[in-house]
Amino acid sequence: MKKHILMATTALAIGFTAPAMAQDDFAGFSEGIVGMLQSQGATVSFDERNVGADGSVEFVGFWMSAPDGEATVRADWLKGVPSATTPGQVTFTLSPNATITINDPSSGEHIINVSNSGLVITLDGITSGQSAPVLNFSVMADSLRFASGNPNDPIIKALDIGFTNFSQTVSFTQANMLLSGVTGLAAMDINYDIDTPHDGQLAANGEMADLNIAFQLIADDNEEHFIDYLSGATTAFIEASVGASSATAKINNSDARIAYSGSSAGTTVEMRAENGYVNITEEVANTQYSFSEFNVDGMPLPPFDLSLDQLRINFSMPTVDHGSFEPANAEIALRNVVVSESIYSMFDPSQNISRTPVNVVANLSANVQPSVDWSNPDAAFDSGNPADIGAVQDITINEVLITAGGAEITATGDATIDNSMGFPFPTGKVTVTAAGVQALVNGLVAMGVIPQDQAGMAMGMMMAFARPGDNADEFISDIEFSPQGITANGMPLPM
C-alpha cells in the first residue's frame, strides 16, 4: 500500500519540497519526476510526449506501474499546463477515460475505471512558487465516476459511484499553517457491493443531492490550538449540509447482519469557534428507515420501521468576557419518533402501554459572562470556584417536552441567579405538568416491569407535591426557588 501511495503522490511531494526550478519549467520538472520514479523501480511509459509553446506537457498513451507491479495507472492522455501569471501553478487535465488496476496476490485483479467530463485539477507550488504566502489546490468536474471494470472480481462485486458538478478548493497559509476549503456537489449516486474474507459484505445503493462542506482549522496536531479557538485568537469551523438522500444498504459479517432502506429530507452540521464565541449545531429532518434484518452480536430483532420528524442539537455560548452578560443556549430535540408495532410487541404484546410517538425536547437559554483566563485555563477549572469559570445572570426554560407510552411531561419557567453568595443561587419558578402518568404506570405494572407497591409509592409522592389539573390523569407542580428554600405548590421540598 505504501508503494501505491508513493506512486500517486510523488509529483506533489517534490513540488513542495524540492528546490525551485526555473519558473514555469514544467517540461524539465516533468522529466525529473519520470526519471525519479524510474530510478525507484517504477515503470513509466507513453506513446508521445508533446511540449507546447506555453510550456505545457502532454503524455499520450500514458502508463505507469508501481515497482512491484501491484498497481498500474493508464490514461489516453495526461496534460499539465503551467500558469502564465502565477509562479509554480500547474493545471492538469485527464482524458475522459482512465484505468487504475490493483493486483493483489490473495484476491486477484481489481480494475477501477475512472471517467470524467470537464475534470480540471490546479496545484500551486509545483515547479516554483513554493514560498508563496498561500498555496492552493482545486478540483472541478462536470462529472466524475468510479466503476468496477472486472465483472468477475471476487471482492469488488459491484462499484459505480458518480459525482455531478463536483468542486473542491483547499488553501494553505504557510505562516500560520491555516488550512481552509470548500466542497460542493450537486448530486451523487452510489452502488457498491464489497465482500472481503475478513470484514464481510458491505453493500449499498442510493443517491444524495446538494452536498456542501466548508472548513477552516490549523493543520497540525498541537492540542494548544484548541485553546486558540476558544480564546478567539483563531477562527475554526466546519459547516456541512446535504439535501434529500435515500439508500438501501446491507452489512453482513461475523458481528452483524443488517439490511435496511431509508431516506432523509436533509442534514446540516455546524461547529464554529470565532471571536470568543462557540456554536455547535446538528439537525436531521424527516427521516425514515425500514429494517428487513437486524441482528447484532447474535441478538436478532424482527423487521421494523423507524421514523422521526426532527433531530436537533444546539449549543452556543460566549467563551471570552466581552464586558457584559451575553446569550447562551443549550437544546436537544428528538421529535415524533415512531417505532413499528413489531418492536413494541416484543415486550408488550398485550398493548398495556400506548404506542404514541416519543418526544424528548429540552431547550434552555441563559445570559452568561465567562471569566476564564485562556492564557492559563487550568487555574480556572481546577480552582473549584465557579466564579473563576464565569457567571450566570438568568436561566429560562423555553421548552421541556417528554412523551412516551401515552404520558406527557412539560415544563416552563425561569430564574434569576444571585452570584454574590459565593455560589450561584436561583430565584424563580418552574411549572411542571404531567399528563397520562397514572395510565403509563398502570400499564407498566400490568407488564410486570414495576411492582404494584412501588408504583403506588411513586404516584403517592407525585400527588403529594402536585395539584390536579383540569383534565383527568393530569398533575401540575409549581416548583419555586428562593433564599428561603425550594417549594412545590407551597410545600417545602426536602434538601
Is residue 398 situated within a structural domain? Answer: yes
What burial letters (b/e) apply to 70-99, b meaning 16+ CB within 10 Å?
bbbbbbebbbbbbbeebbbbbbbbbbeebb
Query: How much is the pTM?
Result: 0.86
Domain boundaries, position 452:
360-495
Closest to 128 measured CA to CA, from 14, 250, 280: 14
CA of 488: how far to CAs of 7, 322, 397, 467, in Å? 72, 38, 17, 10
Strands 156-173 and 178-196: antiparallel
Q: Tell me how crowded residue 12 is: count the other CB atoms within 10 A of its CB.
A: 13
Choosing from 121, 149, 175, the residue where a domain stops is 175
| pLDDT per residue as tens digits for the range 138-182 | 999 999 999 999 988 999 999 999 999 999 999 999 999 999 999
pLDDT of residue 418: 87
Q: If residue 293 lies in a helix (H) or strand (E), which one and from where to where? A: strand 277-296
Is residue 241 situated within a structural domain? Answer: no
Q: How far is the C-alpha of 278 from the C-alpha of 320, rounded, in Å?
A: 10
Q: How far is the C-alpha of 81 from the C-alpha of 381, rounded, in Å?
A: 55
Highest mean pLDDT among 24-28, 43-47, 465-469: 43-47
Choosing from 175, 198, 220, the residue where a domain stops is 175
Among 25-29, 323-327, 414-418, the minimum mean pLDDT is found in 25-29
Is residue 367 situated within a structural domain? Answer: yes
Highest mean pLDDT among 204-213, 343-352, 414-423, 470-479: 204-213
Alpha helices, DSSP H only, in 52-92?
none
Q: Report DSSP state, residue 375.
A: T
Is residue 290 situated within a structural domain? Answer: no
Is residue 350 situated within a structural domain? Answer: no
Number of domains forming the structure of the chain: 2
| pLDDT per residue as tens digits for the range 327-337 | 999 999 999 99
Q: How far is the C-alpha of 112 from the C-alpha of 485, rounded, in Å?
A: 71
Is residue 272 situated within a structural domain? Answer: no
| pLDDT per residue as tens digits for the range 291-315 | 999 999 989 999 999 999 999 999 9
Q: How far is the C-alpha of 381 from the C-alpha of 372, rounded, in Å?
A: 8
Q: What are phi and psi of 150, to 5 degrees?
A: -125, 100
Is residue 425 situated within a structural domain? Answer: yes
Choosing from 175, 191, 211, the residue where a domain stops is 175
